Amino acid sequence: MKIKPLFLFLFFCLTISSVLAQTSNSPKNVIIFLIDDLRPMLSSYGNSWIQTPHIDALAKKSVQFNRAYCNVPVCGASRASILTGIRPTQNRFLSFNSRIDKDVPDAVVTIPQLLKQYGYKTISNGKVSHHSADRELDWDEVWNPEMVTSFRDYADPKNKQNDKNSMPVPAFESPIVNDTIYFDGKTAQKTIRDIEVQNQLSNPFFIVAGFRKPHLPFNAPKKYWDLYDPSTVPFPSNDTFPVSAPEVASKWYELPFYDGIQKGKSPSLDMKRKLIHGYAACVSYIDQQVGEVIATLEKLGLRDDTVVILMSDHGFSLSEHNRWSKHSLFEIELQIPLLINIPEAMGGKRTNSFAELVDIFPTLCDVLEIPKPSHLQGISLMNALKNPSTIHKKYAFSRYKRGETLITERYSYSEWKNQTGKTTGRMLYDHQNDPGETINLSQNSEYSQLIDSLSKRILSIASLSKTIQL
């Protein structure tokens, strides 16, 4: 009888060890928050005005990439690039209307398609691909509330009716409504239900929650507008277009589709204040949706078995360079927030190692221990996740239409070429001395050698991007 307690203790230890071994070897779940038009205007990125407590909490458990960039600053093209791991070119992934099924061969494997092959339940909720039908069969389920109403998603009855009748509609609204009145509240609740259902099943899950806000129009429930005092709305100091920057970089067209905005004219000071206020309200609204999904993971005991990634498809200008848009090659429109939380990496870390959205696919493969497809054109961020204090990657490459940009640790260089290959415009900014990109140095002769070097690197990357290895 004396040895019975010892026997029970040893049996208990062996049982716990067995359970832990099974848990550590079991496939990880994946949740991706893909947020439209979200720039790094977050508390964790040093913005003291914005209120994002749930994303801040996620950042404390994640590796935050301070220098993460999109590969093309327009939604459809960027999302197609993310899902395929392939860079945009002059002939591929060009616009908001881009489709994977039209721009790349059928043999190219997408993220959901690959994970389905490895037993994952794959679910697309909300705005993930720009077209819900684009490679729809790669997913087990594609759900999008937009299928029954306008993408502008107004709650105010007058705005809804005017939108339906193609009448002028405002660029923002702030009704007293519940979160689930808007698409993104519905997307969050759908994602929560999916997690609850999948928790009862044996297969791991891969769910992308595609949130529309803070995309125009800046519609959010009034309680999120009330988080901010309009008198404290900050205005950017770099609100004029840089001298000698090419005209092609100045054009913005999205905002003038809304009432009270004139094409080619900067909004009034009061309108600017309301627009920036509305953007912030939308960010806080999305922050709440992210928090509710993560709370579900924690409640169900899935937090330590789930990879969580939060990112945007591109940035957005809020009067910087006198622009209200993406669709250009300024830093503010290319830089994105990127938080990656994996169970085996220490959280609460920040890295200045570069990341591009084309790197997400190979990173997931490494995290999930799945062989990488041969066509991938990004590199895994796994080294940065495990050792964030070291610089593992020193550049990012982006393009939009006929313009291409290389961002290095200090400089951002952009060039535009016509159909014959002649350079028609350049921008060079020194981020060390001019982080707001206000002085275009490309016409300064003392930088000619640097420009030549950066231009050659752009040509090399662009050339390598054209070929897809299958």
Which residue numbers are catalytic? Answer: 75, 130
Q: At what angle do helices 75-84 and 360-368 cross, to 10 degrees?
A: 30
User: What is the Cα–Cα distance from 50 to 276, expressed in whole angstroms?
Assistant: 11
The DSSP bridge partners found for residue 311 are: 34, 338
- SS3 for 123? strand
**Distance from chain centroid for Cα 429:** 24
The DSSP bridge partners found for residue 423 are: 417
Tell the residue number behind the tokens 């937090």, with chain if given. Answer: 303
